[in-house]
Every structure is written in structure tokens, then in C-alpha cells.
Amino acid sequence: MAGNTKGVLFRLTTFGESHGLALGGVIDGCPPGLQLDGDFIQKELNRRKATGFPWETERKEKDEVEFLSGVLKGKTTGTPIGFLIRNKDTKPEDYSALKSIYRPSHADYSYKKKYGLRDHRGGGRASARETSIRVVAGAIAKLYLKRTGIDIMGWVYRIGDLQMKQDEKIPDPESISSSPLNCPSHDLSKRMISLLEKVKAEGDSVGGAIRAVISGVPAGLGEPVFDKLEADLAKAMLSIGGARGFEIGSGFEGSNMKGSYYNDAFVKNGEKVRTLTNHDGGIQGGISNGMNIAFNVAFKPAATIGKKQKTINLEEQPVEFSGKGRHDICYVPRAVVVVENMSALVLMDHLLRNRAMH
């Protein structure tokens, strides 16, 4: 299966399925001598996994990473880093009734048409569980980026039709982590929880959106034309299961502005060149300009719901079914760390590419 590798110099290849023995990854191109902070990597994994909130899946996985190669005495050696996360709480029998149908808005039909077969056990390769491997690789990239002063912060700014007001201010990390929804507005977070409780009682699901800001990015990262920094970020975000929209800077709202208002004017601020506004989101011509990189990612509602839905079976005859098993009512809060770490993979790759050019 093609399409399992991300990056040019810092490359991640992932493998494994939702209900297979394990998921894993191979990182190639990580510089030697990087001290791997196991506690930090596990903390990142813990941010992704379900922890018992009523809107989350009931599947309980420890998500403990095992490094197989490329690490010696806690430091990277410069050789490929191989690692595994073993699946423990698998219940493939929960999906036996799905062998004969194509679930609405899942990858069942498209996978079958492409490969001639599909893994019905929780979506197989298309499962969001695959993102745990991205988090490990992204956490390693984060450790490297932090040495250069680059920091990545993500948070939930919308669930359903409940939305925070967007501005340039980066929330305090504590305000995000102390919210069960990773939403820094705690008043809004309470309203979001009430919405999720209502949606769950109805046997339905709901989507939302995540905002991310990358600070400390030096000017000059990115490649012209096809490997623009925002294009690579967009592809990384839209490769996350359920992602359906990406906008950077002022995004679609900016298309309603006049150029005289939108344009980011340059000024000299001490020793640094800055812009008075940041409608372009920190990237111009596909290359970072030294301002914060700010973007939003929209996610569709979880496809598995308890309500009865119409679909077709393998014989393409109409049937009705309702989703059973363990699934999220809203997975957007758990996707925050995935958005952050996919950003880290992109920034890490472009940082190394920029250094190689010089």
C-alpha cells in the first residue's frame, strides 16, 4: 500500500491496523544525539488516548511505546528509529456484524473498491488509532524543535455550533490542559459538555475545529511552488482521519477583506522584522516570515452513531443498521495532540531541509 510515508529528510513510515497485533513506525533522518525524554513521549500519547469521559470511546489502551532500534542509552543514533505500540484491548468480535455492510461515511466502500478487500475490524488501517504512531514521531520532533525555540500549541475552539472568538492571543497552556475538552474557555467548555451529553442521549455525534499556533519559527522555512510550508501543513492536517477543512491566517474570512485592510505591513521592531498584522498566518510565498504560524483544522462528526442509518450491503442491496461497539461521540478534543504533532513533523522536515541547503 503506497502513501504510508511522510517527509523528505525527516521521514515517518507507519504500519499496523486498529485490531491487529500492533501499530508501528520507522523514523528515518532523525539527527544523532537527541536525548529522548520517555516521560514526555508518554505524556503526549496519554493526551491522545481515551481517559473515561462519557463522549469518548470505551476502548482502553495503555499506548506504551517500545523502541526497537535507533536509540542507544536514551539518545538517537542517527540510524532508523523503529518502534511499536501493541494493541491490548481489542474486541474484533464487536465488528463481526459489519462484515456484510458498508457503513456510511466510513472507508469501507472506498477501501473495498481500491484493494478488493477491507479490514472491517474498527476500520483497520483507516482507524484513528493509527494516529498514535504519528504522536510518537511528532513528540520526537517536538523535542528537537524545542532546542531551536519552536513551540506548538493547539486547542479546541469549536464543537458543534459553539465557538470561541478567535484572536492573536495564545492561551495559557494550563487553561487548555485543565479543560476536559482542551478548550481554554472554561465557560464555553461547560456548554460544550452539555451539548455532548445531549448528542449522546440522541445516539448521535458532533464535529468541531482545532486552532493551532506555532511560535518561534525563524523566517525562511519552506520551499517554493509545490512544497510550500502551508501546503505541507495542509496535507499533513487533511491526512488525519475525519479532517475536512484547513485554513491558515485569516482563511476564508480573509477572502471577504479588501487588500488595504488585509495586507500585512512590514516594520522593524528592534533587531527583528515583523508585520503589524498577521492575516497571512506567518507564511508568504510558501516560506515562513518569522511571525506566528496560525491555522485551523475542521473535523467532521464521528461516523459511527447509535441512530439507525440507511446503507447498502456487499450485494449493494439497501439495509438499515445502527452503530454498536466502542466509539467517540466527539473525537475532536483527542485530536488536538495529533494536530500538534503532525505540525511538528512538517516543521522538523523543513528545518532540516533548510539547514541542508545552507
Q: What is the pLDDT of residue 18?
A: 81
> What does the pLDDT look like over 330-340, one tens digit per residue?
999 999 999 99
Q: What is the pLDDT of residue 212?
A: 97
> What does the pLDDT look like over 82-132, one tens digit per residue?
999 998 866 666 666 677 888 888 888 898 888 888 777 767 788 888 999
User: Where does the pLDDT of residue 50 fall: very low under 50, low under 70, confident under 90, or very high at 90 and above?
Assistant: confident
Give yes or no for residue 317 having a pLDDT over 90: yes
Residue 142's CATH number = 3.60.150.10
User: Where does the pLDDT of residue 44 fall: very low under 50, low under 70, confident under 90, or very high at 90 and above?
Assistant: very high
Alpha-carbon distance of 358 to 338, in angstroms, equals 31
Give yes or no for residue 157 having a pLDDT over 80: yes
Mean pLDDT (the chain) is 92
If we measure between CA atoms, which residue out of 188, 96, 133, 163 comes closest to residue 6? 133
Q: Which stretches of the chain are DSSP H helices?
A: 38-48, 108-115, 131-147, 173-177, 186-201, 229-238, 251-254, 259-262, 332-357
| Helix, strand, coil fractions of the chain, as percent rounded to 5 | 35, 25, 45
Q: What is the pLDDT of residue 28?
A: 98
Domain limits for position 141: 5-357
Alpha-carbon distance of 171 to 194, in angstroms, equals 23
Alpha-carbon distance of 108 to 106, in angstroms, equals 6
Provide CB contacts within 8 A for 112, sequence distance 6+. Answer: 102, 118
Give yes or no for residue 7 having a pLDDT over 70: yes
Mean pLDDT throughout 134-142? 98
Q: What is the pLDDT of residue 60?
A: 72
Burial 215-247 (b: 16+ CB within 10 A, else e): eebeeebbbeeeebbbbbbbebbeebbbbebbb
Which pTM value belongs to this model? 0.94
Total number of domains constituting the chain: 1
